[in-house]
Amino acid sequence: MMVRILTALLLIGVGLGFSGGAWAVGKRPFKMIQFCVHDQEGVNRFKQTLSSIAKDEGMQYFDGSAELDRQLARAKVDVRRPVVYVGVKREDGSGLEAGNLGLDRFEIAIGFSEGKMPAEALSFSVRVERTLAERWNLLAIPSAKGATPLACRVEGGSR
């Protein structure tokens, strides 16, 4: 089932033009984090936070959640809802993509891509982490691993 989910996510990314982001084929994110937003209000707050970050940074915010949900339903892939697939990107390919496929319903994993300006991408990731840490408890994902359902099971996953 995970292969079907990942295949669907890849197809959506390519179809919507987001494949150059953090989860681009052949290029791992240089940094990954995950955390729990706890409920639908938390999902909405997270999306609003990313939209504000994009505006402040002069970047583009996208929300591919609804389209991904439709594609998964069409492919008859059973997933926990709400489906979250959002991101923030620059023209140089740096930015982040975030989602919850394969995780608990209200758990979010974020991957950061460095694009053509790795130093600026690293600074951006630190600013994003600082902003998100004001509300949620962030967990770093080791570079050799991927996100696993964990953040919503850790005591005190929200602030």
E strands present in the chain = 31-36, 60-63, 85-89, 94-99, 107-114, 139-140
- Whether the per-residue pLDDT at 42 is higher than 80: the answer is yes
- What's the CA gap between 81 and 157, in Å, rounded? 19
93-141 residue pLDDT tens: 999 999 998 898 899 999 999 999 999 999 999 999 999 999 999 999 9
> What backbone phi and psi angles, to 5 degrees, belong to 131?
-65, -45
Instruction: Say which residue, 14 or 79, is predicted with more confidence.
Output: 79
Model pLDDT, residue 14: 38
Answering whether pTM is above 0.85, one says no
Model pLDDT, residue 26: 52
> What backbone phi and psi angles, to 5 degrees, belong to 130?
-60, -45
CATH topology of domain 2-16+26-153: Double Stranded RNA Binding Domain (3.30.160)
Hey, where are the domains in the chain?
2-16+26-153
- Whether the per-residue pLDDT at 20 is higher than 70: the answer is no
- What's the CA gap between 140 and 159, in Å, rounded? 17
CB atoms within 10 A of CB 70: 12
**Virtual CA dihedral for 149, 131, 120, 17, nearest 10 degrees?**
60
- Whether the per-residue pLDDT at 156 is higher than 60: the answer is no
